[in-house]
Structure 1
Protein backbone atom coordinates (compact mmCIF):
# COMPACT_ATOMS: atom_id res chain seq x y z
CA UNK A 1 0.00 0.00 0.00
CA UNK A 2 1.11 3.59 -0.65
CA UNK A 3 2.18 5.20 2.64
CA UNK A 4 1.11 8.64 1.38
CA UNK A 5 -2.40 7.39 0.73
CA UNK A 6 -2.35 5.68 4.11
CA UNK A 7 -1.43 9.00 5.73
CA UNK A 8 -4.57 10.56 4.26
CA UNK A 9 -6.66 8.33 6.50
CA UNK A 10 -4.87 9.64 9.55
CA UNK A 11 -5.35 13.24 8.42
CA UNK A 12 -9.04 12.59 7.82
CA UNK A 13 -9.41 11.01 11.27
CA UNK A 14 -7.83 14.07 12.92
CA UNK A 15 -9.24 16.86 10.76
CA UNK A 16 -12.72 15.48 10.13
CA UNK A 17 -13.31 16.50 6.52
CA UNK A 18 -11.83 15.99 3.07
CA UNK A 19 -11.82 19.76 2.57
CA UNK A 20 -9.70 20.32 5.69
CA UNK A 21 -7.29 17.55 4.68
CA UNK A 22 -6.94 19.03 1.20
CA UNK A 23 -6.29 22.52 2.58
CA UNK A 24 -3.66 21.26 5.04
CA UNK A 25 -1.82 19.22 2.40
CA UNK A 26 -2.05 21.71 -0.43
CA UNK A 27 -4.23 19.45 -2.57
CA UNK A 28 -7.67 19.77 -4.10
CA UNK A 29 -10.57 17.96 -2.39
CA UNK A 30 -11.13 15.94 -5.57
CA UNK A 31 -7.49 14.78 -5.56
CA UNK A 32 -7.78 13.66 -1.93
CA UNK A 33 -11.03 11.83 -2.64
CA UNK A 34 -9.46 10.10 -5.65
CA UNK A 35 -6.51 8.86 -3.56
CA UNK A 36 -8.87 7.56 -0.89
CA UNK A 37 -10.90 5.69 -3.51
CA UNK A 38 -7.71 4.19 -4.94
CA UNK A 39 -6.66 2.99 -1.48
CA UNK A 40 -10.10 1.45 -0.90
CA UNK A 41 -9.84 -0.50 -4.16
CA UNK A 42 -6.39 -1.75 -3.21
CA UNK A 43 -7.55 -2.84 0.24
CA UNK A 44 -10.79 -4.37 -1.05
CA UNK A 45 -12.91 -2.87 1.72
CA UNK A 46 -14.77 0.31 2.55
CA UNK A 47 -12.56 2.73 4.49
CA UNK A 48 -14.63 5.93 4.21
CA UNK A 49 -18.41 6.28 4.28
CA UNK A 50 -20.72 9.19 3.64
CA UNK A 51 -22.57 10.81 6.55
CA UNK A 52 -24.89 13.61 5.53
CA UNK A 53 -22.83 16.05 3.46
CA UNK A 54 -19.53 14.80 4.86
CA UNK A 55 -17.60 11.56 5.33
CA UNK A 56 -16.21 9.54 8.20
CA UNK A 57 -13.87 6.58 8.60
CA UNK A 58 -15.24 3.10 9.02
CA UNK A 59 -13.79 0.75 11.64
CA UNK A 60 -11.41 -0.56 8.98
CA UNK A 61 -10.45 3.01 8.11
CA UNK A 62 -9.70 3.83 11.74
CA UNK A 63 -7.56 0.69 12.08
CA UNK A 64 -5.48 1.68 9.06
CA UNK A 65 -5.27 5.28 10.26
CA UNK A 66 -3.77 4.10 13.54
CA UNK A 67 -1.35 1.88 11.62
CA UNK A 68 -0.24 4.89 9.58
CA UNK A 69 0.94 6.57 12.80
CA UNK A 70 3.23 3.64 13.57
CA UNK A 71 4.48 3.55 9.98
CA UNK A 72 5.24 7.29 9.95
CA UNK A 73 6.97 7.05 13.35
CA UNK A 74 9.15 4.14 12.21
CA UNK A 75 10.20 6.06 9.10
CA UNK A 76 10.98 9.18 11.15
CA UNK A 77 13.04 7.12 13.60
CA UNK A 78 15.04 5.59 10.75
CA UNK A 79 15.68 9.02 9.26
CA UNK A 80 16.71 10.37 12.68
CA UNK A 81 19.16 7.48 13.15
CA UNK A 82 20.70 8.19 9.77
CA UNK A 83 20.87 11.94 10.50
CA UNK A 84 22.63 11.27 13.81
CA UNK A 85 25.05 8.89 12.05
CA UNK A 86 25.93 11.66 9.60
CA UNK A 87 26.53 13.99 12.53
CA UNK A 88 24.00 16.70 11.87
CA UNK A 89 20.37 17.70 11.53
CA UNK A 90 18.53 19.93 9.13
CA UNK A 91 15.03 20.96 8.20
CA UNK A 92 12.28 23.27 9.39
CA UNK A 93 10.59 22.89 12.77
CA UNK A 94 7.23 24.60 13.17
CA UNK A 95 6.36 25.55 16.74
CA UNK A 96 3.13 26.92 18.22
CA UNK A 97 3.48 28.58 21.62
CA UNK A 98 1.20 30.74 23.77
CA UNK A 99 2.19 34.32 24.45
CA UNK A 100 3.56 34.28 27.97
CA UNK A 101 5.48 31.04 27.45
CA UNK A 102 7.00 32.56 24.31
CA UNK A 103 8.11 35.55 26.34
CA UNK A 104 9.67 33.26 28.92
CA UNK A 105 11.29 30.68 26.61
CA UNK A 106 11.67 31.82 22.99
CA UNK A 107 14.51 34.40 23.29
CA UNK A 108 16.75 31.89 25.05
CA UNK A 109 15.65 29.06 22.76
CA UNK A 110 16.62 31.00 19.65
CA UNK A 111 20.00 31.79 21.19
CA UNK A 112 20.55 28.08 21.87
CA UNK A 113 19.46 27.14 18.35
CA UNK A 114 22.44 29.03 16.92
CA UNK A 115 24.34 25.85 17.71
CA UNK A 116 22.18 24.08 15.11
CA UNK A 117 22.48 26.19 11.95
CA UNK A 118 20.87 23.54 9.77
CA UNK A 119 17.53 23.85 11.60
CA UNK A 120 15.14 26.64 10.67
CA UNK A 121 12.54 27.65 13.26
CA UNK A 122 9.05 28.87 12.34
CA UNK A 123 7.33 30.09 15.53
CA UNK A 124 3.68 31.14 15.74
CA UNK A 125 1.68 32.58 18.66
CA UNK A 126 -1.27 30.38 19.55
CA UNK A 127 -3.13 31.02 22.80
CA UNK A 128 -6.21 28.81 23.10
CA UNK A 129 -8.20 27.09 25.81
CA UNK A 130 -6.22 24.30 27.44
CA UNK A 131 -8.55 21.71 25.86
CA UNK A 132 -7.75 22.97 22.35
CA UNK A 133 -3.95 22.70 22.24
CA UNK A 134 -3.96 19.05 21.15
CA UNK A 135 -5.64 19.93 17.86
CA UNK A 136 -2.73 22.24 16.98
CA UNK A 137 -0.40 19.23 16.65
CA UNK A 138 -1.97 18.52 13.26
CA UNK A 139 -0.33 21.67 11.88
CA UNK A 140 2.75 22.15 14.07
CA UNK A 141 5.72 19.93 14.93
CA UNK A 142 5.99 21.28 18.49
CA UNK A 143 3.08 22.74 20.48
CA UNK A 144 3.87 24.43 23.79
CA UNK A 145 0.68 24.19 25.86
CA UNK A 146 -0.44 25.08 29.36
CA UNK A 147 -2.90 23.44 31.70
CA UNK A 148 -4.05 23.68 35.28
CA UNK A 149 -2.20 21.72 37.95
CA UNK A 150 -4.71 18.92 38.39
CA UNK A 151 -6.58 18.96 35.08
CA UNK A 152 -5.67 16.63 32.22
CA UNK A 153 -7.15 17.91 28.93
CA UNK A 154 -8.68 15.49 26.41
CA UNK A 155 -7.29 14.14 23.11
CA UNK A 156 -3.74 13.56 24.35
CA UNK A 157 -3.67 9.75 24.34
CA UNK A 158 -2.06 9.49 20.90
CA UNK A 159 0.38 12.35 21.45
CA UNK A 160 3.87 12.54 22.89
CA UNK A 161 3.70 14.80 25.96
CA UNK A 162 6.85 16.23 27.55
CA UNK A 163 6.65 18.37 30.74
CA UNK A 164 8.69 21.58 30.62
CA UNK A 165 8.02 23.30 33.94
CA UNK A 166 5.48 24.24 36.56
CA UNK A 167 5.07 28.00 36.94
CA UNK A 168 3.55 29.31 40.20
CA UNK A 169 0.73 31.84 39.97
CA UNK A 170 0.83 34.86 42.25
CA UNK A 171 -1.66 37.61 43.02
CA UNK A 172 -0.65 40.94 41.47
CA UNK A 173 -1.61 44.00 43.56
CA UNK A 174 -1.14 47.75 42.99
CA UNK A 175 1.73 49.22 44.99
CA UNK A 176 -0.64 51.22 47.21
CA UNK A 177 -3.03 48.33 47.89
CA UNK A 178 -3.64 47.70 51.63
CA UNK A 179 -2.46 44.09 51.22
CA UNK A 180 0.69 44.95 49.27
CA UNK A 181 2.84 44.93 52.41
CA UNK A 182 1.90 41.36 53.31
CA UNK A 183 4.28 38.54 52.30
CA UNK A 184 1.34 36.32 51.26
CA UNK A 185 -2.41 36.59 50.76
CA UNK A 186 -5.23 34.08 51.02
CA UNK A 187 -8.16 33.60 48.63
CA UNK A 188 -10.47 35.09 51.26
CA UNK A 189 -8.27 38.21 51.46
CA UNK A 190 -8.57 39.10 47.78
CA UNK A 191 -11.60 37.36 46.26
CA UNK A 192 -13.80 40.44 46.77
CA UNK A 193 -11.57 42.66 44.60
CA UNK A 194 -12.18 43.64 40.97
CA UNK A 195 -10.28 41.09 38.89
CA UNK A 196 -8.42 41.37 35.61
CA UNK A 197 -8.86 37.85 34.27
CA UNK A 198 -8.26 35.62 31.28
CA UNK A 199 -10.82 33.85 29.07
CA UNK A 200 -12.94 31.21 30.73
CA UNK A 201 -11.30 27.76 31.03
CA UNK A 202 -7.75 29.06 30.64
CA UNK A 203 -5.53 27.77 33.49
CA UNK A 204 -5.43 31.13 35.29
CA UNK A 205 -9.22 31.30 35.19
CA UNK A 206 -9.52 27.80 36.65
CA UNK A 207 -7.36 28.88 39.60
CA UNK A 208 -9.55 31.94 40.10
CA UNK A 209 -12.62 29.65 40.10
CA UNK A 210 -10.92 27.47 42.72
CA UNK A 211 -10.28 30.57 44.82
CA UNK A 212 -13.96 31.51 44.53
CA UNK A 213 -15.03 28.02 45.59
CA UNK A 214 -12.74 28.07 48.61
CA UNK A 215 -13.78 31.55 49.71
CA UNK A 216 -17.46 30.96 48.94
CA UNK A 217 -17.65 34.18 46.93
CA UNK A 218 -17.86 34.54 43.15
CA UNK A 219 -15.00 36.55 41.67
CA UNK A 220 -15.98 39.80 39.93
CA UNK A 221 -14.03 39.83 36.64
CA UNK A 222 -14.12 43.32 35.12
CA UNK A 223 -11.81 42.66 32.16
CA UNK A 224 -10.58 39.52 30.37
CA UNK A 225 -7.46 39.38 28.22
CA UNK A 226 -4.67 36.96 27.29
CA UNK A 227 -2.20 39.84 26.95
CA UNK A 228 -0.22 39.83 30.20
CA UNK A 229 1.48 43.23 29.69
CA UNK A 230 -2.00 44.78 29.47
CA UNK A 231 -3.05 42.97 32.64
CA UNK A 232 0.06 44.28 34.40
CA UNK A 233 -0.66 47.85 33.28
CA UNK A 234 -4.24 47.64 34.51
CA UNK A 235 -3.11 46.36 37.90
CA UNK A 236 -0.36 49.00 38.16
CA UNK A 237 -2.95 51.71 37.39
CA UNK A 238 -5.21 50.46 40.17
CA UNK A 239 -8.02 49.04 38.03
CA UNK A 240 -8.03 45.66 39.74
CA UNK A 241 -5.94 42.72 40.86
CA UNK A 242 -4.93 39.66 38.87
CA UNK A 243 -3.32 36.27 38.88
CA UNK A 244 0.02 36.38 37.06
CA UNK A 245 2.67 33.73 36.27
CA UNK A 246 5.60 34.37 38.57
CA UNK A 247 8.59 33.75 36.26
CA UNK A 248 7.08 35.68 33.38
CA UNK A 249 5.91 38.78 35.23
CA UNK A 250 8.37 39.19 38.10
CA UNK A 251 11.01 41.19 36.21
CA UNK A 252 8.43 43.82 35.20
CA UNK A 253 6.93 44.12 38.68
CA UNK A 254 9.55 46.33 40.33
CA UNK A 255 8.19 49.81 41.00
CA UNK A 256 4.87 49.03 39.24
CA UNK A 257 3.03 46.33 41.20
CA UNK A 258 3.74 43.55 43.69
CA UNK A 259 3.35 39.79 43.35
CA UNK A 260 2.21 37.89 46.42
CA UNK A 261 2.01 34.07 46.73
CA UNK A 262 -1.30 32.51 47.70
CA UNK A 263 -1.75 30.66 50.95
CA UNK A 264 -4.12 27.72 51.47
CA UNK A 265 -4.30 26.96 47.72
CA UNK A 266 -1.87 25.32 45.32
CA UNK A 267 -1.80 27.80 42.44
CA UNK A 268 0.21 27.09 39.32
CA UNK A 269 0.13 26.07 35.70
CA UNK A 270 1.88 23.25 33.89
CA UNK A 271 3.73 24.08 30.69
CA UNK A 272 4.17 21.08 28.39
CA UNK A 273 5.16 20.16 24.85
CA UNK A 274 2.65 18.22 22.73
CA UNK A 275 3.76 16.44 19.55
CA UNK A 276 2.62 13.79 17.11
CA UNK A 277 4.78 10.69 17.75
CA UNK A 278 6.24 10.68 14.22
CA UNK A 279 7.19 14.33 14.44
CA UNK A 280 8.68 13.83 17.89
CA UNK A 281 10.94 11.17 16.35
CA UNK A 282 12.46 13.63 13.87
CA UNK A 283 16.08 14.48 14.64
CA UNK A 284 15.54 18.23 14.19
CA UNK A 285 12.49 18.20 16.46
CA UNK A 286 14.29 16.24 19.18
CA UNK A 287 17.12 18.80 19.16
CA UNK A 288 14.64 21.67 19.49
CA UNK A 289 13.01 19.82 22.38
CA UNK A 290 16.38 19.36 24.09
CA UNK A 291 17.04 23.09 23.91
CA UNK A 292 13.53 23.91 25.12
CA UNK A 293 14.04 21.66 28.13
CA UNK A 294 17.37 23.34 28.86
CA UNK A 295 15.80 26.80 28.69
CA UNK A 296 12.86 25.70 30.88
CA UNK A 297 15.40 24.36 33.37
CA UNK A 298 16.60 27.92 34.01
CA UNK A 299 13.10 28.94 35.09
CA UNK A 300 12.76 25.81 37.22
CA UNK A 301 16.07 26.64 38.91
CA UNK A 302 14.60 29.96 40.05
CA UNK A 303 11.80 28.18 41.92
Structure 2
Protein backbone atom coordinates (compact mmCIF):
# COMPACT_ATOMS: atom_id res chain seq x y z
CA UNK A 1 0.00 0.00 0.00
CA UNK A 2 1.94 3.01 -1.30
CA UNK A 3 1.30 6.54 -0.16
CA UNK A 4 -1.52 5.54 2.18
CA UNK A 5 -2.67 8.69 3.99
CA UNK A 6 -3.92 7.79 7.47
CA UNK A 7 -5.35 11.30 7.80
CA UNK A 8 -8.12 10.16 5.46
CA UNK A 9 -9.12 7.20 7.64
CA UNK A 10 -11.48 9.14 9.94
CA UNK A 11 -13.91 9.86 7.10
CA UNK A 12 -14.24 6.11 6.46
CA UNK A 13 -14.83 5.44 10.13
CA UNK A 14 -17.47 8.17 10.27
CA UNK A 15 -19.24 6.67 7.26
CA UNK A 16 -19.27 3.26 8.98
CA UNK A 17 -20.90 4.75 12.09
CA UNK A 18 -23.18 7.39 10.56
CA UNK A 19 -24.31 5.56 7.46
CA UNK A 20 -24.37 8.31 4.84
CA UNK A 21 -22.11 10.86 3.19
CA UNK A 22 -24.56 13.61 4.12
CA UNK A 23 -24.42 12.67 7.82
CA UNK A 24 -20.62 12.51 7.74
CA UNK A 25 -20.47 15.92 6.08
CA UNK A 26 -22.75 17.47 8.72
CA UNK A 27 -20.80 15.94 11.61
CA UNK A 28 -17.38 16.90 10.28
CA UNK A 29 -18.34 20.35 8.99
CA UNK A 30 -17.49 19.50 5.39
CA UNK A 31 -19.52 19.53 2.20
CA UNK A 32 -20.81 16.19 0.88
CA UNK A 33 -18.65 16.66 -2.23
CA UNK A 34 -15.54 17.09 -0.06
CA UNK A 35 -16.37 13.89 1.85
CA UNK A 36 -16.91 12.03 -1.42
CA UNK A 37 -13.59 13.31 -2.76
CA UNK A 38 -11.75 12.08 0.34
CA UNK A 39 -13.40 8.67 0.01
CA UNK A 40 -12.35 8.45 -3.64
CA UNK A 41 -8.76 9.41 -2.75
CA UNK A 42 -8.61 6.85 0.06
CA UNK A 43 -10.09 4.18 -2.20
CA UNK A 44 -7.51 4.90 -4.90
CA UNK A 45 -4.69 4.65 -2.37
CA UNK A 46 -6.10 1.44 -0.86
CA UNK A 47 -6.23 -0.18 -4.29
CA UNK A 48 -9.59 -1.90 -3.69
CA UNK A 49 -13.22 -0.69 -3.64
CA UNK A 50 -14.11 0.64 -0.20
CA UNK A 51 -17.64 1.87 -0.92
CA UNK A 52 -20.37 0.87 -3.35
CA UNK A 53 -23.48 2.61 -4.61
CA UNK A 54 -26.82 1.63 -3.07
CA UNK A 55 -29.73 3.58 -4.49
CA UNK A 56 -28.92 7.25 -4.01
CA UNK A 57 -26.36 6.57 -1.29
CA UNK A 58 -23.29 4.46 -0.61
CA UNK A 59 -22.32 1.70 1.77
CA UNK A 60 -19.02 0.13 2.78
CA UNK A 61 -17.75 -2.96 1.02
CA UNK A 62 -16.29 -5.81 3.06
CA UNK A 63 -12.83 -4.28 2.55
CA UNK A 64 -14.18 -0.88 3.50
CA UNK A 65 -15.66 -2.24 6.74
CA UNK A 66 -12.37 -3.94 7.60
CA UNK A 67 -10.40 -0.73 7.02
CA UNK A 68 -12.95 1.30 9.00
CA UNK A 69 -12.36 -1.03 11.95
CA UNK A 70 -8.62 -0.51 11.64
CA UNK A 71 -9.24 3.24 11.49
CA UNK A 72 -10.69 3.13 15.00
CA UNK A 73 -7.47 1.54 16.27
CA UNK A 74 -5.36 4.16 14.53
CA UNK A 75 -7.48 6.95 16.01
CA UNK A 76 -7.10 5.47 19.50
CA UNK A 77 -3.32 5.21 19.17
CA UNK A 78 -3.00 8.78 17.88
CA UNK A 79 -5.32 10.13 20.59
CA UNK A 80 -3.26 8.37 23.26
CA UNK A 81 -0.03 9.99 22.05
CA UNK A 82 -1.58 13.44 21.58
CA UNK A 83 -3.23 13.37 25.01
CA UNK A 84 -0.09 12.19 26.79
CA UNK A 85 1.95 14.93 25.11
CA UNK A 86 -0.63 17.60 25.97
CA UNK A 87 -0.70 16.46 29.59
CA UNK A 88 3.11 16.53 29.66
CA UNK A 89 3.13 20.14 28.44
CA UNK A 90 0.17 21.65 30.28
CA UNK A 91 -1.01 19.18 32.93
CA UNK A 92 -4.36 17.43 33.28
CA UNK A 93 -7.09 19.45 31.60
CA UNK A 94 -9.40 19.94 28.68
CA UNK A 95 -13.09 19.88 27.90
CA UNK A 96 -15.16 16.70 28.33
CA UNK A 97 -18.60 16.56 26.72
CA UNK A 98 -20.88 14.39 28.88
CA UNK A 99 -24.35 13.32 27.71
CA UNK A 100 -26.65 11.88 30.37
CA UNK A 101 -30.30 10.88 30.55
CA UNK A 102 -32.44 12.62 33.20
CA UNK A 103 -32.86 9.97 35.91
CA UNK A 104 -29.15 9.11 35.82
CA UNK A 105 -28.41 12.83 36.07
CA UNK A 106 -30.57 12.99 39.21
CA UNK A 107 -28.65 10.14 40.72
CA UNK A 108 -25.08 10.87 39.66
CA UNK A 109 -24.63 14.44 38.50
CA UNK A 110 -24.60 16.36 41.84
CA UNK A 111 -21.89 14.15 43.31
CA UNK A 112 -19.94 14.01 40.06
CA UNK A 113 -19.74 17.79 39.85
CA UNK A 114 -18.56 17.90 43.45
CA UNK A 115 -15.83 15.35 42.71
CA UNK A 116 -14.70 17.25 39.61
CA UNK A 117 -13.88 20.31 41.73
CA UNK A 118 -10.63 18.49 42.46
CA UNK A 119 -9.71 18.88 38.77
CA UNK A 120 -10.06 22.58 37.94
CA UNK A 121 -8.39 22.11 34.57
CA UNK A 122 -11.20 19.87 33.32
CA UNK A 123 -14.33 21.58 31.99
CA UNK A 124 -17.49 19.47 31.85
CA UNK A 125 -19.96 20.31 29.11
CA UNK A 126 -23.30 18.66 29.92
CA UNK A 127 -25.97 17.52 27.47
CA UNK A 128 -29.40 16.26 28.50
CA UNK A 129 -30.45 13.27 26.36
CA UNK A 130 -33.21 10.69 26.63
CA UNK A 131 -33.37 8.12 23.86
CA UNK A 132 -34.39 4.51 23.42
CA UNK A 133 -31.99 1.76 24.41
CA UNK A 134 -30.30 1.23 21.06
CA UNK A 135 -29.61 4.92 20.49
CA UNK A 136 -27.15 5.56 23.32
CA UNK A 137 -24.07 3.99 21.66
CA UNK A 138 -24.40 6.06 18.43
CA UNK A 139 -24.33 9.22 20.55
CA UNK A 140 -20.66 8.52 21.33
CA UNK A 141 -19.86 9.83 17.87
CA UNK A 142 -20.83 13.31 19.09
CA UNK A 143 -20.05 13.21 22.84
CA UNK A 144 -16.95 12.20 24.80
CA UNK A 145 -18.96 10.21 27.36
CA UNK A 146 -22.56 9.02 27.13
CA UNK A 147 -24.39 7.63 30.16
CA UNK A 148 -26.94 5.12 28.94
CA UNK A 149 -28.98 2.28 30.33
CA UNK A 150 -30.30 -1.12 29.29
CA UNK A 151 -32.42 -3.78 30.99
CA UNK A 152 -30.96 -6.90 32.57
CA UNK A 153 -30.10 -9.42 29.91
CA UNK A 154 -29.81 -6.97 27.01
CA UNK A 155 -26.54 -6.98 25.11
CA UNK A 156 -23.88 -4.37 25.77
CA UNK A 157 -22.77 -2.00 23.06
CA UNK A 158 -20.24 -3.32 20.54
CA UNK A 159 -16.94 -3.49 22.40
CA UNK A 160 -14.87 -2.81 19.29
CA UNK A 161 -16.56 0.50 18.56
CA UNK A 162 -17.51 1.61 22.08
CA UNK A 163 -15.87 1.16 25.47
CA UNK A 164 -18.42 0.37 28.19
CA UNK A 165 -17.81 1.20 31.86
CA UNK A 166 -20.30 -0.38 34.27
CA UNK A 167 -21.69 2.08 36.83
CA UNK A 168 -24.82 0.77 38.54
CA UNK A 169 -27.22 -2.11 38.46
CA UNK A 170 -30.39 -0.44 39.70
CA UNK A 171 -33.26 -2.75 40.68
CA UNK A 172 -36.72 -1.90 39.40
CA UNK A 173 -39.46 -1.84 42.01
CA UNK A 174 -43.23 -1.54 41.71
CA UNK A 175 -44.47 1.91 42.76
CA UNK A 176 -47.90 1.74 44.41
CA UNK A 177 -50.29 4.48 45.63
CA UNK A 178 -50.41 4.68 49.43
CA UNK A 179 -54.03 3.54 49.49
CA UNK A 180 -53.52 0.58 47.16
CA UNK A 181 -54.46 -2.89 48.54
CA UNK A 182 -50.85 -4.03 47.98
CA UNK A 183 -49.24 -0.92 49.47
CA UNK A 184 -48.34 -2.60 52.78
CA UNK A 185 -46.60 -5.53 51.10
CA UNK A 186 -42.82 -5.59 50.91
CA UNK A 187 -42.89 -7.96 47.92
CA UNK A 188 -45.42 -8.52 45.16
CA UNK A 189 -45.58 -11.22 42.50
CA UNK A 190 -46.29 -10.92 38.80
CA UNK A 191 -49.75 -12.37 39.35
CA UNK A 192 -50.51 -9.65 41.91
CA UNK A 193 -49.85 -6.74 39.54
CA UNK A 194 -50.14 -7.90 35.94
CA UNK A 195 -53.83 -6.91 35.64
CA UNK A 196 -53.25 -3.44 37.11
CA UNK A 197 -53.34 -0.17 35.19
CA UNK A 198 -49.75 0.87 34.48
CA UNK A 199 -48.01 4.18 34.02
CA UNK A 200 -45.14 3.46 31.64
CA UNK A 201 -42.25 4.80 29.62
CA UNK A 202 -42.23 4.90 25.80
CA UNK A 203 -41.98 1.61 23.95
CA UNK A 204 -38.38 0.62 23.30
CA UNK A 205 -37.04 2.15 26.51
CA UNK A 206 -35.32 -0.26 28.94
CA UNK A 207 -37.99 -0.15 31.64
CA UNK A 208 -40.70 -0.86 29.07
CA UNK A 209 -38.84 -3.99 27.99
CA UNK A 210 -39.03 -5.25 31.57
CA UNK A 211 -42.77 -4.56 31.72
CA UNK A 212 -43.22 -6.40 28.43
CA UNK A 213 -41.28 -9.37 29.82
CA UNK A 214 -43.51 -9.44 32.90
CA UNK A 215 -46.58 -9.48 30.67
CA UNK A 216 -45.12 -12.26 28.53
CA UNK A 217 -44.42 -14.36 31.62
CA UNK A 218 -48.11 -14.22 32.55
CA UNK A 219 -49.45 -14.18 28.97
CA UNK A 220 -51.33 -10.97 29.81
CA UNK A 221 -50.78 -7.80 27.75
CA UNK A 222 -50.11 -4.82 30.05
CA UNK A 223 -52.76 -2.12 30.30
CA UNK A 224 -50.74 1.09 29.99
CA UNK A 225 -52.81 4.22 30.62
CA UNK A 226 -50.07 6.76 29.93
CA UNK A 227 -46.46 6.82 28.77
CA UNK A 228 -43.84 9.47 29.48
CA UNK A 229 -40.06 9.76 29.62
CA UNK A 230 -40.28 11.91 32.76
CA UNK A 231 -39.82 9.87 35.94
CA UNK A 232 -41.24 12.55 38.32
CA UNK A 233 -44.43 12.65 36.21
CA UNK A 234 -44.74 8.87 36.54
CA UNK A 235 -44.27 9.14 40.30
CA UNK A 236 -46.84 11.95 40.57
CA UNK A 237 -49.44 9.90 38.66
CA UNK A 238 -48.84 6.89 40.89
CA UNK A 239 -49.04 9.04 44.03
CA UNK A 240 -52.37 10.43 42.80
CA UNK A 241 -53.77 6.92 42.36
CA UNK A 242 -53.88 6.77 38.56
CA UNK A 243 -51.95 3.52 38.25
CA UNK A 244 -48.83 1.65 39.28
CA UNK A 245 -45.41 1.71 37.66
CA UNK A 246 -41.99 0.11 37.42
CA UNK A 247 -39.46 2.63 38.73
CA UNK A 248 -35.71 2.58 39.52
CA UNK A 249 -35.17 1.90 43.23
CA UNK A 250 -32.37 4.32 44.10
CA UNK A 251 -33.68 7.24 42.04
CA UNK A 252 -37.36 7.04 42.99
CA UNK A 253 -36.61 5.96 46.53
CA UNK A 254 -35.45 9.48 47.39
CA UNK A 255 -38.97 10.80 46.69
CA UNK A 256 -41.18 7.93 47.83
CA UNK A 257 -41.63 8.69 51.55
CA UNK A 258 -45.18 9.87 52.31
CA UNK A 259 -46.17 9.80 48.61
CA UNK A 260 -46.05 6.22 47.31
CA UNK A 261 -44.71 2.82 48.30
CA UNK A 262 -42.05 0.70 46.62
CA UNK A 263 -42.43 -3.07 46.57
CA UNK A 264 -39.89 -5.62 45.34
CA UNK A 265 -40.90 -7.93 42.51
CA UNK A 266 -40.82 -11.43 43.99
CA UNK A 267 -40.91 -13.56 40.83
CA UNK A 268 -38.33 -11.91 38.62
CA UNK A 269 -34.95 -10.23 38.83
CA UNK A 270 -35.83 -6.90 37.23
CA UNK A 271 -33.29 -4.12 36.90
CA UNK A 272 -31.50 -1.76 34.60
CA UNK A 273 -27.78 -1.36 33.95
CA UNK A 274 -26.49 2.21 33.94
CA UNK A 275 -23.25 2.47 31.99
CA UNK A 276 -20.83 5.06 30.67
CA UNK A 277 -20.05 4.68 26.97
CA UNK A 278 -17.15 6.23 25.06
CA UNK A 279 -15.30 5.73 21.82
CA UNK A 280 -11.93 4.10 22.57
CA UNK A 281 -10.02 7.03 21.06
CA UNK A 282 -11.81 9.43 23.41
CA UNK A 283 -11.62 7.14 26.43
CA UNK A 284 -7.79 7.20 26.34
CA UNK A 285 -7.72 10.96 26.90
CA UNK A 286 -6.61 11.59 30.51
CA UNK A 287 -9.42 14.12 31.10
CA UNK A 288 -12.05 11.67 29.86
CA UNK A 289 -10.53 8.85 31.89
CA UNK A 290 -10.65 11.06 34.98
CA UNK A 291 -14.37 11.73 34.44
CA UNK A 292 -15.03 8.00 33.97
CA UNK A 293 -13.20 7.20 37.20
CA UNK A 294 -15.18 9.88 39.05
CA UNK A 295 -18.43 8.42 37.68
CA UNK A 296 -17.47 4.95 38.95
CA UNK A 297 -16.67 6.36 42.39
CA UNK A 298 -19.94 8.30 42.56
CA UNK A 299 -21.97 5.30 41.40
CA UNK A 300 -20.46 3.26 44.21
CA UNK A 301 -21.25 6.01 46.72
CA UNK A 302 -24.93 6.40 45.80
CA UNK A 303 -25.60 2.66 45.94
CA UNK A 304 -23.87 1.95 49.23
TM-score range, shorter chain: over 0.9
1:269 to 265, 269, 272: 272
Structure 1 segments of 4+ aligned residues over 6 angstroms from their partners: none
TM-score by length of 2: 0.93
1-structure distance, mates of 2:181, 2:203: 28
Answering whether residue 50 of structure 2 is matched by residue 47 of structure 1, we say yes
Match in the other structure for 2:30: 27
Question: Contact 2:72–2:161 at 8 Å: present in 1 too?
Answer: no
1:133 to 132, 136, 151: 136
Shift of 1:157: 4.3
1:16 to 15, 19, 34: 19
2-structure distance, mates of 1:168, 1:124: 25
Question: Contact 2:157–2:164 at 8 Å: present in 1 too?
Answer: no
Once the two structures are overlaid, the 10-residue window that deviates more, 19-28 or 112-121, is: 112-121
Match in the other structure for 1:208: 211
- In structure 2, the CA distance between the partners of 1:83 and 1:109, relative to structure 1 (3 Å rule), is same
| CA offsets 1:147-173 (integer angstroms, 9 cap, x no match) | 111111564543211111100111111
Answering whether residue 196 of structure 2 is matched by residue 193 of structure 1, we say yes
Aligned residue pairs total: 301
Shift of 1:75: 1.3
| CA offsets 1:115-142 (integer angstroms, 9 cap, x no match) | 1122221221222221221211111111
1:117-132 → structure 2 map (5 Å cutoff): 117-132=120-135
Answering whether residue 269 of structure 2 is matched by residue 251 of structure 1, we say no
Shift of 1:213: 2.6
2-structure distance, mates of 1:201, 1:27: 33
Answering whether residue 39 of structure 2 is matched by residue 58 of structure 1, we say no
SS at match of 1:258: strand
Task: Give unpaired runs (5+ residues) of structure 1.
Answer: none
Shift of 1:195: 0.2
2-structure distance, mates of 1:14, 1:216: 38
Match in the other structure for 1:74: 77
Match in the other structure for 1:2: 5
Match in the other structure for 2:115: 112
| CA offsets 1:194-223 (integer angstroms, 9 cap, x no match) | 100111232211221222233332221100
Once the two structures are overlaid, the 10-residue window that deviates more, 194-203 or 83-92, is: 83-92
Answering whether residue 287 of structure 2 is matched by residue 284 of structure 1, we say yes
For the aligned residues, what is the CA RMSD? Answer: 1.7
Task: Give unpaired runs (5+ residues) of structure 2.
Answer: none
SS at match of 2:146: strand
Question: Contact 2:50–2:61 at 8 Å: present in 1 too?
Answer: yes
Shift of 1:99: 1.3
TM-score by length of 1: 0.94
Shift of 1:83: 4.6
